[in-house]
Structure 1
């Protein structure tokens, strides 16, 4: 009986997978819900088992599809049913999405691709659990020539050294830079430390004719721009 039951369950799962794949082929991402999109990814790492309950649990635990994809491997594997292989499959999807988002802004004028730039920064940093400080390097035509994470910090602090920021800009031949960091708390409001650090970088960069265009602070759902706030 147990073997018959397992066969029936496997046949049902196979039928469900094919129907979901067919719906996705026909309508794309608009034809599936978030947990179903997650199912499609889990199909690759879990060949036979019904993964719908796991997909729904992951969405409920982390708060949404983007949050699942961005979650650290250690947190993912705390969920029953998520092996190292499953977690790695999710991280491959995240890396692919970031590469696509980065391709939309790299080697393009920043002004004409500003919304894409913000989308990329949010995708890369909004769900990080510790602070990252990234620098976008621009040439004299304001074309983005490099994107680098300069420092990794703690949950509420990232050590930043103006001398290192300027040194890297000179190495890349950048004429200007955009500073970007995230607030793991979710609130993108610049802190006093953020403002003081930005002013130090502006002073150091200005001495070598390198302009700081903006400093973006990325929260969970919103961002803050030093330029828009009149802080630059």
Structure 2
């Protein structure tokens, strides 16, 4: 078998239903999902993203990644496997490819979208009083760390107004262990003139825990 291009792969993995040749549609008849795509795009344009549930937003994204198939079943399968849109984008490449309809090229495209979303989330909280929005902090940590295969010890460094100075992964460990060195944490906080820190520790089996420490201000 010859090499398969990314476009061919996206079509191949898209679970297009097979039909007997005698019942095949006329060549000039458009697939049924194209009308659905047009209607969904129009609803997004007129009502905005808040009017669409997670699976429909994911569908809109998959329209571009899987151009020649019905993406609704794929979107619903991804959410059934991982739970939320943020957790779909945070899932590792290998786990994404275990979902029917997702091949290596589409999985990589989803990770590119995830990296873009993380960069946007970092920009949204940088320099703002993130502690006044606990949900925003949770969403940010979930998009950055959900479904990480190894444990991470992440630190958010804050100034005296609780605005974010820096977000850094201080240590990366194994699947169930990560070392923490308090001396390095304090050293880095002093280098950044941070007055408070938020310690985030993910658990690959059950997301993450968050600790907030204001003691640096004293």
What TM-score range do you get, normalising by the shorter chain? 0.7 to 0.9
* 1:142-161 equivalence runs, <5 A: 142-161=162-181
The alpha-carbon deviation at position 105 of structure 1 amounts to 2.0
- Residues 6 and 174 (structure 1 numbering): CA distance in 2 closer, same or farther, change over 3 Å? farther
The alpha-carbon deviation at position 177 of structure 1 amounts to 2.4
- Residues 134 and 86 (structure 1 numbering): CA distance in 2 closer, same or farther, change over 3 Å? same
Residue in 1 that maps onto 2:187: 167
Residue in 2 that maps onto 1:230: none
Matched, 1:98 2:118: yes
Q: Distance in 1 between matches of 2:207 and 2:112?
A: 28
The alpha-carbon deviation at position 150 of structure 1 amounts to 1.0
Larger RCO of the pair (alpha carbons < 8 Å, separation 6+):
2
The alpha-carbon deviation at position 3 of structure 1 amounts to 9.3
Residue in 2 that maps onto 1:119: 139
Matched, 1:32 2:48: no
SS at match of 2:31: helix
Greater Cα offset, 101-110 or 147-156: 101-110
Matched, 1:130 2:164: no
Q: Which runs of 5+ in 2 are unaligned?
A: 1-20, 214-218
TM-score by length of 2: 0.73
The alpha-carbon deviation at position 42 of structure 1 amounts to 0.8
SS at match of 1:163: helix
Q: Distance in 1 between matches of 2:53 and 2:89?
A: 15
Instruction: Provide the alpha-carbon RMSD of the alignment.
Output: 2.9
Contact kept, 8 Å, 2:130 with 2:136, in 1: the verdict is no
TM-score by length of 1: 0.70
Q: Distance in 2 between matches of 1:46 and 1:60?
A: 19
- Residues 9 and 53 (structure 1 numbering): CA distance in 2 closer, same or farther, change over 3 Å? farther
